[in-house]
Structure 1
Amino acid sequence: MPATDALSRALESPGEPPVRSLPPAVSALLRALAAPPRLAAHLRLVHDVAHDLADWLAGHCPALEFDREAVLFGAATHDIGKAVHTAELTGPGSAHEPAGRELLLAHGFPEHLARFAVTHATWHGSAVSIEELLVSTADKVWKGKRVQDLEDLLVGRLATATGAERWAAYLELDGVLGRIAEAADGRLGFQAAFPVHP
């Protein structure tokens, strides 16, 4: 099924301020699925914020090793299951999470990347990786939402890696998330400009 004009615009519009493009493999998958244009716009926005977070983290905390490409892929595909469960684009639901993982696996993506479709909504537990925390954070702060328990987990990882006091790590993270959140209205407007249905 060919991509619609609205989907092409959602994938290619530069945005103001500019919004980074999705990885080519993700754009190709969204086109193949004839994904809802609003979903494509949302994935671009979260991916764009994940870029900013990854850039900040690499500069601020080089001792904290993380898989940058996994973070960017995870942000770019975290809600891919909403291409199947389209009602969850405008309403609550979590059916898109396992469906997204299965969809990515069915299209040949490895488990370590497909996992973000499920883990972006849950960040508790000792096995949660720094990559999963970053994707979850990007998925919240793109629209200006701040989630204290999620940010506390990230602060803990930053403090451990840098040797800084938790309060100092918090101030650093709070500063970058605050700057990202300031542009939330523009991001929300960009997403809303694209229809839910092709």
Structure 2
Amino acid sequence: MTSDLLRRALTSERTLRPLPAAAVALLEELQAPPRLAAHLRAVHDVAAQLADWLAEHHPAVVIDREAVLFGAATHDIGKVEHPAELSGPGSAHEQAGCDLLLARGVEERFARYARTHGSWSADLPLEDLLVTLADKVWKAKRVADLEQLVTDRLAVASGQEPWEVFLALDDVLDRIAAGADARLAFQSGYPV
């Protein structure tokens, strides 16, 4: 039975897009902490904004949008098993989340984001970098080396000059970051 607070975290705040139905079902089944659900909604909404921007400004760059959005919606699901990481540091939830998703029949193409969102490198697919970027910028955290990886990847894929890509990416990230206070307030409105 889903708690009222979890249900509210999953459905209130109409300015945030709803999570994919499969992600909602998992969070309800696991009786996820309401704060986790609120966090996942905020990051999912930012990932959707990034995917929309990408489709508009880099239409030649093809991503697995469905996987990005599901990945953003479940990237921290391992915190169900490691609840101390909801309010403190830690990375045990990353592999645990991927394992949890795989054990519930979620395809690797969707589950991997739980494992990859906490670190980034040039060998990760663009989709993974986008989920990681969403997980940073939702709270207005800007990470130069992550943004550079995304810029470089988009410049190569689109044929644009890196400085052009960077300026456009910087603009969208500034716009998204401007909404951080509202997203943080939404998340903080739910207990750990």
Same fold (TM over 0.5): yes
- The match for 1:183 among 179, 185, 189 is 179
SS of corresponding position for 1:144: coil
Return the TM-score normalized by structure 1: 0.95
Moved beyond 2 Å, runs of 4+ = none
Once residues 119 and 104 of structure 1 are traced to their aligned partners in structure 2, the CA distance between those partners, rounded to angstroms, is 13
Once residues 63 and 102 of structure 1 are traced to their aligned partners in structure 2, the CA distance between those partners, rounded to angstroms, is 33
**1:51 counterpart = 2:48:** yes
Once residues 162 and 3 of structure 1 are traced to their aligned partners in structure 2, the CA distance between those partners, rounded to angstroms, is 45
- The match for 1:21 among 8, 18, 24 is 18
8 Å CA contact retained: 2:33, 2:80: yes
Could you tell me which residue of structure 1 aligns to residue 143 of structure 2? Answer: 147
| Matching of residues 84-103 of structure 1 within 5 Å | 84-103=81-100
Could you tell me which residue of structure 2 aligns to residue 9 of structure 1? Answer: 8
**1:105 counterpart = 2:106:** no
| Matching of residues 52-71 of structure 1 within 5 Å | 52-71=49-68
Q: Deviations over 1:129-165 (max 9, x none)?
A: 0100100000000000000000000000111122221
Distance apart, 1:125 and its partner CA: 3.7
- 1:174 maps to a residue whose letter is D
The CA RMSD measured in Å over matched residues stands at 0.8
Could you tell me which residue of structure 1 aligns to residue 35 of structure 2? Answer: 38
Once residues 8 and 177 of structure 1 are traced to their aligned partners in structure 2, the CA distance between those partners, rounded to angstroms, is 29
Q: How many residues are matched?
A: 192
Could you tell me which residue of structure 2 aligns to residue 117 of structure 1? Answer: 114
Distance apart, 1:166 and its partner CA: 1.1
Structure 1 stretches lacking a partner, 5+ long? none
| Identical positions, percent | 62
Could you tell me which residue of structure 1 aligns to residue 191 of structure 2? Answer: 195
8 Å CA contact retained: 2:67, 2:110: yes
Once residues 83 and 3 of structure 1 are traced to their aligned partners in structure 2, the CA distance between those partners, rounded to angstroms, is 14
- 1:170 maps to a residue whose letter is F
Structure 2 stretches lacking a partner, 5+ long? none
Return the TM-score normalized by structure 2: 0.98
